[in-house]
């Protein structure tokens, strides 16, 4: 799950307030800083939303304040709401959603209508169901576990030491536009969020090269037949080489940020929408040199974000 710096800062401050009630006196920034071996100014920067702690530091803060690590994931969402939200956004029937996740429609109906379905289930059984849901949603199972509050709340969950050992990294939300004079592409950072480096490991980036990654908010319905709707959040990677069929982030004209499927036929690049009301864009070598459209990078995954 993603969370902004300001939201995380508020949660750290709330965790200190909880500790204050537990010990019967005010648990100050200075006391927290001393307990985790950091400076008071660093704690102040975290609580004011000026910086993120590393995941190791966040874990230390959780221990010092006697709150579970999942406390800093913010509010969770039930599996029932997760399924219903996805189906509503993508206009899918229960049967279509079940087929996508390779689960029985009766189970999907039960999950959607019974928020307490997993209460009597073992974590192993829960994990197996959520793993299939995550594959259908095209997200990591860890993301679904965190989003629904299962990861970090169970007494003995499946092995997750590797997940918690790794640092979290900062990823920006980006929009793009062209300078009308120079035609250079300019990036506008709307916000930054932290994610587990496991998000990048799955793409082969074991060095956690977060510099090339960014989040992109879909602004239109041009990819609706690829089950990408307006408002969806895409984790993308800046790169220069693409395979036919890749979904790419494109800047068209001066400020149109959108997604298209990439195809190359001889020297012609075709940017194909997944909605018949949009026309494909054909780009020659000259068009690319003149920056009629700029391919920013490849869409790597549709990410759950609430």
Instruction: Provide DSSP, 11-77.
Output: HHHHHHHHHHHHHTS---HHHHHHHHT--HHHHHHHHTTS-PPPHHHHHHHHHHTT--GGGGG-S--
Which pLDDT tens digit goes with each residue over 269-296? 999 999 999 999 999 989 888 888 999 9
Cα–Cα distance, 138 to 136 (Å, whole number):
5
pLDDT for res 123: 62
pTM confidence score: 0.47
Q: What does each of the 306 residues of the chain score in pLDDT, given as a tens digit?
A: 446 678 888 889 999 999 998 999 999 999 999 999 888 888 988 898 887 776 667 778 988 999 887 677 654 456 777 788 788 878 889 999 899 888 999 999 998 888 777 777 776 677 788 878 877 776 666 556 655 655 443 333 333 333 333 456 778 889 898 887 888 888 888 877 777 666 666 666 544 455 688 999 898 999 999 889 888 889 899 988 999 999 999 999 878 899 999 999 988 999 999 999 999 999 998 988 888 899 999 998 886 444
pLDDT for res 160: 38
What is the rounded average pLDDT for all residues in the chain?
A: 80
pLDDT for res 306: 41
pLDDT for res 246: 93
Cβ atoms of residues 170 and 194 within 8 Å: yes
Domains with residue ranges and CATH for the chain: 5-72 (1.10.260.40), 79-161 (1.10.260.40), 168-303 (2.10.109.10)
3-state SS of 157-186 is CCCCHHHHHCCEEEEEEEEEEECCCCCCEE
Cα–Cα distance, 281 to 278 (Å, whole number):
9
Cβ atoms of residues 274 and 266 within 8 Å: no
pLDDT for res 196: 65
CB within 8 Å of 2: residues ≥ 6 apart: 193, 194, 195, 215, 303, 305
pLDDT for res 258: 94
Q: Which residues are registered as beta bridge partners of 293?
A: 252
pLDDT for res 57: 77
pLDDT for res 131: 79
pLDDT for res 155: 33
């Amino acid at each position: 799950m993603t969370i902004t710096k300001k939201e995380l800062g508020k949660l750290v401050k709330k965790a200190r307030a909880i500790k204050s009630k537990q010990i019967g006196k005010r648990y100050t920034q200075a006391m927290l800083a001393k307990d985790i071996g950091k400076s008071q100014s660093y704690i102040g920067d975290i609580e004011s939303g000026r910086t993120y702690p590393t995941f190791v530091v966040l874990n230390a803060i959780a221990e010092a304040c006697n709150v579970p690590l999942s406390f800093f994931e913010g509010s969770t969402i039930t599996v029932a709401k997760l399924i219903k939200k996805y189906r509503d956004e993508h206009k899918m029937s229960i049967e279509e959603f079940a087929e996508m996740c390779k689960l029985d429609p009766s189970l999907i109906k039960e999950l959607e209508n019974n928020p307490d379905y997993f209460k009597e289930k073992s974590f192993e059984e829960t994990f197996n169901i959520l793993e299939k849901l995550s594959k259908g949603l095209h997200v990591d199972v860890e993301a679904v576990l965190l989003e629904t509050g299962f990861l970090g709340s169970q007494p003995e969950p499946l092995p997750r030491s590797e997940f918690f050992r790794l640092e979290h990294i900062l990823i920006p939300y980006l929009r793009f536009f062209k300078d009308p004079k120079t035609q250079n592409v300019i990036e506008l950072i709307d916000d930054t969020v932290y994610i587990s480096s496991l998000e990048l490991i799955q793409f082969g980036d074991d060095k956690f090269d977060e510099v090339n990654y960014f989040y992109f908010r879909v602004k239109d319905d041009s990819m609706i037949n690829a089950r990408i709707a307006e408002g969806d959040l895409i984790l993308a990677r800046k790169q220069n080489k693409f395979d036919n069929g890749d979904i790419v982030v494109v800047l068209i004209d001066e400020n149109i940020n959108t997604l298209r499927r990439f195809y190359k036929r001889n020297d012609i690049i075709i940017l194909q929408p997944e909605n018949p009301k949009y026309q494909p864009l054909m780009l020659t070598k000259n068009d690319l040199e003149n920056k009629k459209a700029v391919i920013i990078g490849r869409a790597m995954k549709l990410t759950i974000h609430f």
